[in-house]
Amino acid sequence: MTAFTSVRRTALGALTIIAGALLVMPAQAQNYPISSGQRATAQQVSERGVPLEELAPNAPDSYTVKRGDTLWGISGMYLKRPWRWPELWGMNLKAIPNPHLIFPGQTLYLEKDGGYARLRTSRPGTTGEPETVRVSPRTRSDSLVDSALPTLKPHLIEPFLVEPLVVDEQTLLRAPRVIATTDERVLMGAGDRVYVRGDTASPMLAEAGEPRFYRVFRNAVALKDPMTGEVLGYEAQYVGKAELVRGESFEETPNGKGGYNAEYVPATVDLSATKEEVQAGDRLLPAPARAFMSYTPRAPEVEVDARVVSIYGSSAVAYGAQNQVVAINMGSEDGVEPGHVLSLMTKGDRIKDTTDKAKAMVKLPSEINGTAMVFRTFERVSYALLLEIRNGVRVGDRLVNPK
């Protein structure tokens, strides 16, 4: 037990709760305004399947899932509008947030009946029991969920599951900060050691039950609603990962008068990975536990009319391209969830009609510019991956329910 222990319990608990709430996506805890009639209709459609005219022209009668396939890719193979996958697969609303039950080695069969189509894991006309899936031997540490089919190529979104962090204005200011480096260097990278000081009421301690792994952040840029100018939150810049080696403490040193003084010693932290070089003043927050996230592509159950707030990690770039990430001005409190697919709309530029003698200004109509899928939500902000883009995406562009 250190000198800090008795004075920091309440504040440390509060900070842990705040950070946890910001770092975890509580999809199953969200309440969104769906009427009983809407739910019944969705359930009925899910059980019936999709109209045959919704099938892609070359949708195969059967397909064996291969390693490297994605749910979005298979959706596009079978459907003109991939976000209708839950209807084709026959998933009900309660099953949508659950991990996928589609694995490499399974064969999917397309069943057509009464003008509708559904996918099954057993041949049409059989007892309905799914076929046996042969899988390679796996270590005990792996779970069945780990081998489930991902929605998107993992490398496209995995970095962004830990990088973006939307906080309130004071959260980073209260977080532990880097105060010194080794060898008096200004910038530090992976494998280097730095020294960190926590808030007086929330020091970094190496006790049982305390966080050991951290993420390093810098700055906190205001995310402003492009329509109202209101600050929706502050986006912290991700810098890297760190591991606590020794906690903060006090050491007794001789004072030259026959006694001892208690001198403060900061925490020792090793940098395990860095996206940018770490420097004094950077802040640390506990790393969230790694969790499997299910992103079943689907249309939102709520009405969405959102705007692009920023192009993530590209403050100097005016246009977002395919496979880039954008922040939007709707979040979990608006009913937006991971897996929601949205249509991107162009702004509709204003041009001068050069064929008019008066040179009148004319606003061009907004056009569908592609699709995006939400993969991470905060209370008032969400992050979405740009999937299919025709032209560059700009701040202020609209995102609406898929067309």
pTM score over 0.75:
no
211-to-66, 166, 205, 246, 383 alpha-carbon distances in Å: 39, 20, 8, 12, 26
In this structure, the answer to whether residues 214 and 322 fall within a common structural domain is no
Q: Encoding tokens for residue 343?
A: 């249509």
DSSP assignment, residue 99?
A: P
* Tens-place pLDDT, residues 140-182: 333 444 566 677 777 777 777 667 788 887 888 889 999 998 8
Confidence (pLDDT) at 293: 62
Confidence (pLDDT) at 13: 30
Contact by Cβ (8 Å): 302, 332 = no
In this structure, the answer to whether residues 278 and 175 fall within a common structural domain is yes
Could you list the residue range(s) of the whole structural domain that residue 254 is in? 165-286
In terms of DSSP H, where are the helices of 208-268? none
Q: For residue 137, how many other CB atoms are within 10 A of its CB?
A: 4
Confidence (pLDDT) at 139: 38
Higher-pLDDT residue of 23, 316: 316
Give the E-state strand segments of 171-281 in sequence order. Answer: 177-181, 193-197, 213-224, 231-246, 249-254, 260-265, 267-274
Q: Which of 96, 123, 150 is the last residue in one of the domains?
A: 123
Three-class secondary structure of residue 227 per DSSP: coil
Confidence (pLDDT) at 211: 92
Q: Judging by beta carbons within 10 Å of its beta carbon (0-12, 13-18, 19+), is residue 322 exposed, middle or buried?
A: middle
* Tens-place pLDDT, residues 255-298: 778 788 889 999 999 999 998 899 999 999 998 776 556 677 88
Higher-pLDDT residue of 371, 68: 371
When pLDDT is cut at 50, 70 and 90, the band that residue 186 belongs to is confident
Distance CA 204, CA 244 (A): 8
Whether residue 4 is predicted with pLDDT greater than 50 in this model: the reply is no
Kindly state the average pLDDT of the residues 361-387.
90
| Domain CATH code at residue 50 | 3.10.350
DSSP assignment, residue 14?
A: H
In this structure, the answer to whether residues 57 and 88 fall within a common structural domain is yes
Q: Which of 286, 320, 347 is the last residue in one of the domains?
A: 286
In this structure, the answer to whether residues 113 and 41 fall within a common structural domain is yes
Q: Which of 259, 286, 313 is the last residue in one of the domains?
A: 286
Beta-bridged to residue 144, according to DSSP, are none
Confidence (pLDDT) at 315: 62
Whether residue 354 is predicted with pLDDT greater than 70 in this model: the reply is yes
In this structure, the answer to whether residues 219 and 278 fall within a common structural domain is yes
Distance CA 40, CA 65 (A): 31
399-to-145, 300, 326, 374 alpha-carbon distances in Å: 31, 12, 11, 11
Is 69 a member of any domain? yes
Report the number of distinct structural domains present in the chain. 3
Whether residue 44 is predicted with pLDDT greater than 90 in this model: the reply is no
Confidence (pLDDT) at 35: 52
In this structure, the answer to whether residues 171 and 282 fall within a common structural domain is yes
Q: What angle do CA 172, 173, 179 make, to 5 degrees?
A: 100
Is 154 a member of any domain? no
* Tens-place pLDDT, residues 334-345: 999 998 999 999
Confidence (pLDDT) at 94: 56
Whether residue 31 is predicted with pLDDT greater than 50 in this model: the reply is no
In this structure, the answer to whether residues 316 and 252 fall within a common structural domain is no
In this structure, the answer to whether residues 248 and 326 fall within a common structural domain is no
In this structure, the answer to whether residues 86 and 178 fall within a common structural domain is no
339-to-51, 86, 151, 273, 310 alpha-carbon distances in Å: 22, 11, 9, 29, 20
Distance CA 331, CA 32 (A): 11
Is 294 a member of any domain? no
Confidence (pLDDT) at 86: 82
Whether residue 47 is predicted with pLDDT greater than 90 in this model: the reply is no
Contact by Cβ (8 Å): 79, 50 = yes
Whether residue 7 is predicted with pLDDT greater than 50 in this model: the reply is no
Q: Judging by beta carbons within 10 Å of its beta carbon (0-12, 13-18, 19+), is residue 105 exposed, middle or buried?
A: middle
In this structure, the answer to whether residues 257 and 368 fall within a common structural domain is no
Contact by Cβ (8 Å): 213, 202 = no
In this structure, the answer to whether residues 280 and 378 fall within a common structural domain is no
115-124, 163-172, 197-206, 358-367 — most confident range? 197-206
Of 101-105, 271-275, 344-348, 396-400, which range is least confident? 101-105
Contact by Cβ (8 Å): 352, 363 = no
Is 194 a member of any domain? yes
| Domain CATH code at residue 327 | 2.40.10.410
Contact by Cβ (8 Å): 251, 181 = no
Is 5 a member of any domain? no
Is 174 a member of any domain? yes
Beta-bridged to residue 214, according to DSSP, are 242, 286
Confidence (pLDDT) at 402: 93
Higher-pLDDT residue of 48, 394: 394
Is 216 a member of any domain? yes
Contact by Cβ (8 Å): 179, 284 = no
Is 385 a member of any domain? yes
Confidence (pLDDT) at 131: 53
Confidence (pLDDT) at 129: 54
In this structure, the answer to whether residues 189 and 264 fall within a common structural domain is yes
161-175, 345-359, 379-393 — most confident range? 379-393
